[in-house]
Amino acid sequence: MKVVAFLGSPRAGGNTELLLNEAIRAVEEEGHDVTLFLPSQMNLSPCINCGGCDETGECVLEDDMNDVYRAIREGERFILASPIFFFGLSAQIKALIDRCQAFWCEKYLLKKPVPEGPNGRKGLLLMVGGMKKEKGFECGNATATAFFRTINVQEHDKLYYKGVDAKGDVKKHPTALKEAYAAGKGLVKLSGQRSKLADVRKT
């Protein structure tokens, strides 16, 4: 299966990356290829709401999003990983998500959702935040859900960890890395084999 992963954190070796690496390790062990996008290192313009995609479902801006569009069309499993910044996803990943307005037009205006493919399309959301309050994840969760549904991923598991702040703190969490690894395994299991990991919330 083609697996596409997005790392929303700009902090190299940070908590989000450590978590995502565990999920990717599990996916690769199962023999699947992962295409990883790092928005913080890409040439990505934010959406300018020009309406250019309204009638075609194609963005008129020319930058690294072209690779992302292709990967999203061809992908079957998707991992979105982001830290919480000011109660939302990072600006880097949000810019990429906003550019998926082109898929929104394709799905909802042109009534042509991205085809499901033989194995369906499933997602995994990973988030970390320094605050100790669950509320901090609500906006990020809503944005990620809108993103997944827009690219025609109708179901996704989610793992999020609060109170994880300093670089590398996630390694001290008793279960986070193991759960991310298990979630990676679950992501690429075909229907019927899939582990029940939906909506796991950790302290």
Residue ranges that bind ligand FMN, judged by CB under 6 A: 9, 11, 14-17, 83-87, 128-131, 136, 164-165, 167
Q: How far is the CB of 194 from ligand FMN (least distance, A)?
A: 27
Q: Which is nearer to ligand FMN, 57 or 129 (CB)?
A: 129
- Between residues 68 and 89, which has the closer beta carbon with respect to ligand FMN? 89
In whole angstroms, the minimum distance from the beta carbon of 82 to ligand FMN comes to: 8
Nearer to ligand FMN, 123 or 129 (CB): 129
3-state secondary structure the chain: CEEEEEECCCCCCCHHHHHHHHHHHHHHHCCCEEEEECHHHCCCCCCCCCCCCCCCCCCCCCCCHHHHHHHHHHCCEEEEEEEEECCEECHHHHHHHHCCHHHHHHHHHCCCCCCCCCCCCEEEEEEECCCCCHHHHHHHHHHHHHHHHHCCCCEEEEEEECCCCCCCHHHHCCCHHHHHHHHHHHHCCCCCCCCCCCCEEEC
Q: Smaller CB distance to ligand FMN: residue 64 or 165? A: 165
**CB 30, min distance to ligand FMN, A:** 25
Phi, psi of 56 (to 5 degrees): -120, -20
- Nearest-approach distance from CB 167 to ligand FMN, in angstroms: 5
Tell the smallest beta-carbon distance from residue 200 to ligand FMN (Å).
18
Residue among 42 and 131 whose Cβ is closer to ligand FMN: 131
